[in-house]
Structure 1
Amino acid sequence: MYANDMYKVAVIGCNSFTGGYVVDELLAAGEYQVLGIDREEKGRLFLPYVQNDLRRFRFAQMDVNKDMADLLALLQSEQPDYVMNLAALSEVAPSWEHPEQWMQTNVVALTILVDGLRHLPVLKKFVQISTPEVYGSVAGRVQEDAALKPSTPYAVSKAAFDLLLLAFVKQYAFPAVLMRAANVYGAHQQLFKIVPRTIIYEKLGRKLPLHGGGKATRAFIHGRDVARAYVAALTLGKVGEAYHVAPETTVTIRELVQRICDLVGEDISAVVEDTPARPGHDAVYSLDASKAKRDLRWQPEVTLSAGLAEVIAWVDTNWAEIREESLEYVHRA
């Protein structure tokens, strides 16, 4: 049952990896009623928030492509103060195989969503979870005003909706804020992602393919740190602005895998094999997060070493269940 004196937040994509951390952060704050919306239900293995007090949480199973009329009717009925959208098709490589599906979900469906949301009289903020992939391959420290040069269908779809939102801000004073986070990791992540996949492959004695030899540079940030920034953006984010959520340091994928190998006491040569680079994967990501630190009063708190150790412990604790799960990405339109 919702309390009447709390702000109401609708989290679309609440059962995505980062969405689970966002809901957990909102519930832990103690001042929000949370309406979680997602196309699928998940269990405790992949959702940190299910261990929280759920009396201020309500879940609605809806798909942005199939149930948009019902979703908008629900939001009209609930009248949330804030809406955060994490719903998206988010994998890069498969977007080359079905680009029209990425455009449908990430552009067309979400355009219908915000065109409906702009008529909600109580809406204070719409926080859209974008991606740094919209910048393409860039050198140096990237700030939020960098040119958008997407190089994959996924990145193009995200950039297109970002631009649509900024047009809505200008035309309708729509209260949108854009968030672009570095590579998010942590316990409860999809098992095909690089951090849990490396740990699992090591435990299974399998060789992990390192695309391009693992030379790509990325910044990895823990899901809890990302969730804190996203929640701060609800109240502190400035309309029409984009914010980076990233640590100060970057690592190559090979260096990341080496850190995991060091933590589990395994030689990297026993864990990886080099494979060709995948098409359209950008070589460099280095995000300047100073604006988020200033405007959102945010700082990352979880070190990479501590975060990796946490994921290792999560895999070890849930190994009986994890080893029965698929380790591959399964595409759903």
Structure 2
Amino acid sequence: MRVLVTGGAGFIGANFVHQTVRERADVQVTVLDSLTYAGNRASLEPVAQQIEFVHGDITDAELVDRLVAASDVVVHFAAESHNDNSLGDPWPFVHTNIVGTYTLLESVRRHDVRYHHISTDEVYGDLELDDPGRFSESTAYNPSSPYSSTKASSDMLVRAWTRSFGVRATLSNCSNNYGPYQHIEKFIPRQITNVLCGIRPKLYGDGLNVRDWIHVDDHNSAVWAVIDKGEIGQTYLIGADGEVNNRTVVESVLDVLGKSPDAFDFVTDRPGHDRRYAIDSTRLRTELGWRPRYQDFRSGLEATVAWYRDNESWWRGQKDATEQKYADAGEKKTGPG
């Protein structure tokens, strides 16, 4: 099987490539990545001799068409994905997440290639903290940021191309990922690397926002379950029942690293910061038989902390610039700590 992985030098995509090389000897992997700031060729170094890497943009129709024509499956991870960045400049999100998805869909349509689309639970908006409900495949879309609205748009394109043109596509919407090779602007690796650098972790607002965390390896095993056994035209929600509020995440990071759990600072909240995400992955589990490897958040977090501690060379060069970006954006301490 020849698999084209878009965004394969990014966080989730790179981990998908590693897992595929490790567990699927029958799969030939080609990675297409434009190597924006969130894509890192170093993330693929351990498997560089076992894959083909193409430096290019998913909006380049001629390049995409050539690569898709030589593939049996396209797995589309490539996306602009940081909410803070989407608030500062929405255009890259429109360009990559909408125009890029359109370009891929037209190519898989032309060559009748199987397509799997990676999306996010953020397309559903958010839930109240005291709401017992969770997102399901039937939840109405209600995106609240330029990032989530462009991902919602891309999902709708996939559904339309499947219904209108018979594209052989599946979709998955996943909860918040964490694990190796995640850019340190993101919440969990930022806090881990802060502590490792002697910087106090930073907590938006009141710290009570809840995310449904899943280790990236579990996300990617679910993606393969959908590719192998999923029904064409259907959507599958991927989650590991990992609901934890942000304060607990920060306290857990500090505890794993042997620090006082209150050694963090509250900072100004992000505009439009969604309160709670929660995934109901019943369909994935019952229809496709998928189960997460990490049954609790703490075990996955410990493995993630160990990776960042042992791989400082991968992230250290990004740290100062990342923290300066937050300072330039006006992040300020707001509470005791």
Distance (whole Å) between structure 2 residues aligned to residue 100 and residue 316 of structure 1: 35
Partner of 1:42: 40
1:294 shift after superposition: 2.2
Distance (whole Å) between structure 2 residues aligned to residue 89 and residue 133 of structure 1: 13
1:108 is the counterpart of 2:99: yes
Deviations 1:112-161 (A, max 9, x none): 2211210113x2x2111111110001341211110001111111111111
- Residues 32 and 55, structure 2, Cα contact 8 Å, conserved in 1: yes
Distance (whole Å) between structure 1 residues aligned to residue 256 and residue 151 of structure 2: 35
Partner of 2:300: 307
Distance (whole Å) between structure 1 residues aligned to residue 48 and residue 83 of structure 2: 35
SS of the equivalent of 1:11 reads strand
Deviations 1:190-238 (A, max 9, x none): 1122222112211222222211121100111111111111122212111
1:287 is the counterpart of 2:270: no
Residues 228-307 of structure 1: matches in 2 within 5 Å? Answer: 228-270=221-263, 272-302=264-294, 303-307=296-300
Distance (whole Å) between structure 2 residues aligned to residue 247 and residue 320 of structure 1: 30
Partner of 2:18: 24
- Aligned-residue sequence identity (percent) comes to 29
Deviations 1:149-183 (A, max 9, x none): 11111111111111111111111111111111111
Match of 2:118 among 129, 134, 144: 129
State the one-letter code of the partner of 2:126: S
1:313 shift after superposition: 1.6
Partner of 1:141: 134
Partner of 1:216: 209
Aligned length: 315
Cα pair distance change 1:86/1:321, threshold 3 Å: closer
1:101 shift after superposition: 2.4
- Residues 209 and 245, structure 2, Cα contact 8 Å, conserved in 1: yes
1:30 shift after superposition: 1.3
Cα RMSD of the aligned pairs, angstroms, is 2.0
Partner of 2:28: 33
SS of the equivalent of 2:265 reads strand
State the one-letter code of the partner of 1:32: V
1:54 shift after superposition: 3.9
Structure 1: 5+ residue stretches without partners: 1-6
TM score, norm. by length of structure 2: 0.88
Residues 72-111 of structure 1: matches in 2 within 5 Å? Answer: 72-76=65-69, 78=70, 80-111=71-102
TM score, norm. by length of structure 1: 0.89
Cα pair distance change 1:168/1:258, threshold 3 Å: same
State the one-letter code of the partner of 1:19: G
- Residues 13 and 37, structure 1, Cα contact 8 Å, conserved in 2: yes
Residues 168-187 of structure 1: matches in 2 within 5 Å? Answer: 168-187=161-180
Match of 1:10 among 4, 7, 12: 4
Distance (whole Å) between structure 2 residues aligned to residue 251 and residue 197 of structure 1: 17
Distance (whole Å) between structure 1 residues aligned to residue 208 and residue 185 of structure 2: 19
Q: Relative to structure 2, which stretch is displaced further, 312-321 or 107-116?
A: 312-321
